[in-house]
Structure 1
């Protein structure tokens, strides 16, 4: 790499390090009801029980971990040791959680959780942040009503696909072509 390219990269680098603070601290649901419901779900998650997001409904959870978020859609397992590091959740749709009745049902739910993770991983493999945001928004709008997706905070999508919340805000305002 020549010195001109090195200089260009040094100028455009931006630090995203936040010293042991959480960008979730200031998150509040617009209707005010989400926090108590979310804390009930958090209690269930941290109890060690494995639950399944009801596959017969259009519902799911965004699970916020320390540095990223995961989406657990219909049929996905949540809880157990898998989500003991979860810091916050946002329920989407009319959330319904079920207890697996058999070992096979539990294993199937873990496989479905992996499929949801793979879907998000495919989106994050796109090197262009605006396109990642547009793809995750499109995916959610295909599955949930646009009004429901519009209520979800920018930080949720940002942590799902590895972009800054400002990028999500920009794409929501101007689309993926906006600068």
Structure 2
């Protein structure tokens, strides 16, 4: 039953993203959203803009942490959210630029465990995390074993 509710909630999130409304991942909570696109995934952390025209191609969304979305209340809030989304993308790009796949996986785990707790990160499937930095689920599993 819980699994069905989780799937429905994820579908509702994707529907919100496709609505065209610009939303922001709540900056006051340890949360984020993994957005699956056609050929890659992105992590939108606290304060990041989501939806609008950015995520029309989002096929799946995985909420992380105590997830919530808010509506930006001003032009400045939207601009800050755009900049924050870009910062999260750049952080992930730095991890993905590592040449060695195992190193990419290990660095991602370190970053996520520093931001979220290790127990929460352990609940995220290997394929979900691996898609953020372009590694196979087996590589992510190997990185978890090294911890």
Q: TM-score range by the shorter chain?
A: over 0.9
Distance 1:144 1:138 in 2: 10
Distance 1:165 1:94 in 2: 25
Moved over 3 A (4+): none
The match for 1:164 is 136
Distance 2:106 2:54 in 1: 28
Distance 2:20 2:41 in 1: 19
Distance 2:137 2:39 in 1: 13
Name which of 138, 143, 148 aligns with 2:110.
Answer: 138
Is 1:98 the counterpart of 2:98 in the alignment? Answer: no
The structural deviation recorded for 1:157 is 1.4
Question: Which whole-Å deviations, capped at 9, do the CAs of 1:140-176 have from their partners, x for residues lacking one?
Answer: 000111111001011111110011111111211235x
RMSD: 1.0
Distance 1:93 1:163 in 2: 22
Please give the TM-score of this superposition, normalised by the length of structure 1. 0.78
Is 1:55 the counterpart of 2:27 in the alignment? Answer: yes
SS in 1 for 2:32: strand
Distance 1:104 1:36 in 2: 33
Name which of 140, 150, 157 aligns with 2:122.
Answer: 150
The structural deviation recorded for 1:44 is 0.3
Unmatched 5+ residue regions in structure 2?
Answer: none
Structure with larger RCO (C-alpha < 8 A, sep 6+): 2
The match for 2:46 is 74
Distance 2:6 2:99 in 1: 33
Is 1:112 the counterpart of 2:84 in the alignment? Answer: yes
The match for 2:98 is 126
Unmatched 5+ residue regions in structure 1?
Answer: 1-30
Aligned length: 145
